[in-house]
Each structure stands twice: as C-alpha cells, then as structure tokens.
Amino acid sequence: MGNLLVVGSVAFDSVKTPFGEVSNVLGGSATYFSTSASFFTQVDLIAVVGDDFPNEHLQFLSSRGINLEGLERRPGKTFRWRGEYSYQLNEAQTLETHLNVLETFRPKIPTPFTTPTALFLGNIDPELQLDVLNKVTRPSVVALDTMNFWIDSKRDALWKVLEKIDILIINDGEARALGQDPNLVQVAKTILSRGPKTVIIKRGEYGVLMFHHKGVFGAPAYPLEAVKDPTGAGDTFAGGFMGYLTASGNYSESGLRQAIIFGSVMASFNVEAFSLDRMKRLTREEIDERFRAFKHLTHFDNLS
C-alpha cells in the first residue's frame, strides 16, 4: 500500500437541494477526496483551515487514518461555500464563496510527505499546483483537477503544470473550455498530445469517459433511487479512483478502468446523503458489493 498526497480545500458548505438543506457542514474538495481515498490507502492531506474549525471534524478525518500533519491552522475563518441545486441535480448554482484563509494559502509540505507514491493536485491555482509538484520526489502517478476559473484566468500556467502530470480529471464543461472544442474526443486528443497520458472526463449523472492511448473507456453512473446532494461527487470520485490506484499499484489501462469503477462507486454513495454523512457510515464490504453491482449494470454478452 502506497501513500497518496493530496492538496486542496477544506471548507464549510451550506447546501440546499430539493431534498433538504444544511448549513456550515464539513465540505471542501480535499475533504471529500481524502475521506474517499482513505477507504483504500494511506492519505496525507495538505490544506488550510481557520481557527473556527472544530476538533470534531479533525477527529473524523483522523479516524479515517488521514495524516493531518500538513493541515495548517491559521488565524481567521475557514473557506465557506454556499450553493443550491434544482431538480436538475447535475450543476450547482453558487450563491456565496468566501475564500477566507484559502485566499493566501501557500501549501507547505512536511518532510515526511515529500516522497509520496501518488499525488493529487486538487483544484487550486495552477502555479501552486506546479510548486507542490516541484517540491516532492516525482511520484509514480500524478493527477490533477482544475476548474473554469483557472482555465480562463491562468491558461498558460495551467498548461505548464499539465505538461508534467499523468492524469487529468475534469468535468465535461471544463474539458470543452480547456480544449476549445465542443467534441470531447477532439478535446481529449488535444490534451493527450500535450502531456497527460490519461484524460478522465466526469459527466455527473451520466458517468465517466476515460481517454488513453490504448483506447476509450466509458462507464455510466450508478442509477440511484434517491440522490440527496451531489456536492463533492466529483472529488469523491477522484478520491476513490486515486485511492484504489495507489493501493493496487496497477497503473495499466485495465487497472485504470477498475479504479474508475471504484471512483464511481464512491461517488454513488456520497450523493445519497448531505455532506460526508454517507461516507461516515460506509463500509468496505458495501464498496465491493457496489463494484459488483456496476459489473452487472454494464455487462453484456459477446457475439457468439
């Protein structure tokens, strides 16, 4: 089992969906990512919180075996996000964003974290992503997430870090913006020609596509009877994907395919409840059971 280093955000979220509403609950991309990954491998977290961040949340993350040595506590408030979803659950409407301590965040990497097996550069300024990558011994696998804000405002810096990573994990709208083409196959070709060996495109309730020189892999999302809150689904996917990959050490295309299913499994659980509530009571047995359910969901017989 290797160790997986992640840098990203820890936040307080306030979320309203047609199925309920929560205020100032635990959230943030790195929180969802590391909790999800912790079901598979050792996770080292780099992030920042304010002095308003309660011990209860720290205890939860510790209880998942996540190493919090790189979780900086600074005077001030923790990053806060408020959003709302309509019945069309695929996209959040952001109502408020208060960066707070995240605004001046400069990731510091504790010495024991500088030789990770795998690295996930969560959605932060691409210049900071490159800085983190430069400060560690090159891991076996480096993945990166980003968003439209950086694609629009720091395109050159983003391409600079993309040239040095292995796997880009991105949603479809962001992929089209980055590749400047409406066709995802073309977009993937463009990206693959500039560095990353694998491009994973998240399509929310419609599943995932993976582009790799050995071929394309497509997986539907797991059809759920009750989706309560899609917040963190993409980060939970990435956490399951990277967690399984780090633990298995199998970076072949077939290993990547299995990792995508584990990522999809984790995301499918996460959306069943608000915040990380479903993650808090999830078991490894449930994860493997849903992996097998994905196999049944997608299987069809070959031509005889």
Q: Write out the two tokens for 248.
A: 């298995």
* CA–CA gap between residue 30 and residue 38 (Å, rounded): 12
By CB under 8 A, residue 180 contacts a second copy: no
Candidates 21, 127, 152, 288; binder of a second copy (CB under 8 A) is 288
Candidates 220, 251, 272, 277; binder of a second copy (CB under 8 A) is 220
Candidates 97, 218, 280, 281; binder of a second copy (CB under 8 A) is 218
By CB under 8 A, residue 296 contacts a second copy: yes
By CB under 8 A, residue 285 contacts a second copy: no
Query: Per CB under 8 A, which of residues 123..162 are in contact with a second copy?
Result: none
CA 201 to chain centre: 12
**Site pattern 85..124 for a second copy (x: CB under 8 A):** --xxx-----------------------------------
By CB under 8 A, residue 261 contacts a second copy: yes
By CB under 8 A, residue 215 contacts a second copy: yes
CA 77 to chain centre: 23
| Residue closer to a second copy, measured from CB, 10 or 271 | 271
Give the footprint of a second copy on this chain (CB under 8 A). 18, 87-89, 182-186, 189, 203, 206-207, 209, 215-221, 223-227, 254, 257-258, 260-261, 288, 291-292, 295-303
